[in-house]
Amino acid sequence: MHEAFRQRAVAQLAVHPELYQQHLLDIEVEWKDRLTGEARQLYDAGQKYAAFILYMSQCGNWGDDNTLQALCDTLGCRAHVISPQGVLLPAVEPRLPHAVIQDITLVHTGGHFESVSRCVPASVVQHNRLPVHGGIYLPTCVPAWAC
C-alpha cells in the first residue's frame, strides 16, 4: 500500500511544480548527493527538479517534508508529525482547496517518517477502510512511508 502513497506523492510533485519546485531547490544540498544513475544524469544536465522526482519515484528512497506536503495535498489529509525528541511539530495541512481533511500521525525518526496511526472517528470507518479523495481507499492504519 505504501507504494501507492509514493506514486500519489510523486505524481503530485510532477503535476504541480509551481507548488514544490522552489522549496526543493532551496534544500537541494540535503538530497543531491543521494542521486545515482539516471537521476544523477538529469541533475548534472541541469534538470534538478526532474532528478528529484525520478529519485523519489524509486522504492526505498525516503520522502522529505516537501514530499509529505505533496502527499497531504493529493490525499487531502492533515499530518501530525512528532519529532525524534517527542515534540509535536506544526501540522502539515493540505494546501489545495478541494482537500477533505483527514488526520494521520507520523513520527519523524531523523531520516524518514514512520506512521503511528490514523486518527479517524469510528463512525467513518467502513470495513476497516476509509474512502479518500480520488477514489483511493486507505486502511485505517497508514503503512510506513518508505518502501
Check: CB of residue 54 under 8 Å from CB of residue 39. yes
- What's the predicted TM-score (pTM) here? 0.71
Q: Is residue 115 part of a domain?
A: yes
Task: Identify whether residues 132 and 80 lie together within a single domain.
Answer: yes
Q: Is residue 53 part of a domain?
A: yes
Q: Mean pLDDT over all residues of the chain?
A: 74
pLDDT of 133 reads 34
Task: Identify whether residues 82 and 130 lie together within a single domain.
Answer: yes
State percent of the chain over pLDDT 90.
24
Taking the C-alpha atoms of residue 99 and residue 77, their distance in angstroms, rounded to an integer, is 7
Q: Which residues have a Cβ under 8 Å from the Cβ of 20 and sit 6 or more positions away?
A: 12, 13, 66, 69, 70
Q: Is residue 69 part of a domain?
A: no
117 or 85, higher pLDDT:
85
Task: Identify whether residues 25 and 53 lie together within a single domain.
Answer: yes
Q: Report the pLDDT averaged over residues 42-67.
A: 89
Task: Identify whether residues 87 and 52 lie together within a single domain.
Answer: no
pLDDT tens digit string along 9-35?
A: 999 999 999 999 988 888 887 788 889
Q: Is residue 25 part of a domain?
A: yes
Range of the domain at 36: 2-57
Evaluate if residue 136 carries a pLDDT over 90: no
User: Which residue, 75, 126, 123, 79, is CA-closest to 103?
Assistant: 79
Evaluate if residue 126 carries a pLDDT over 70: no
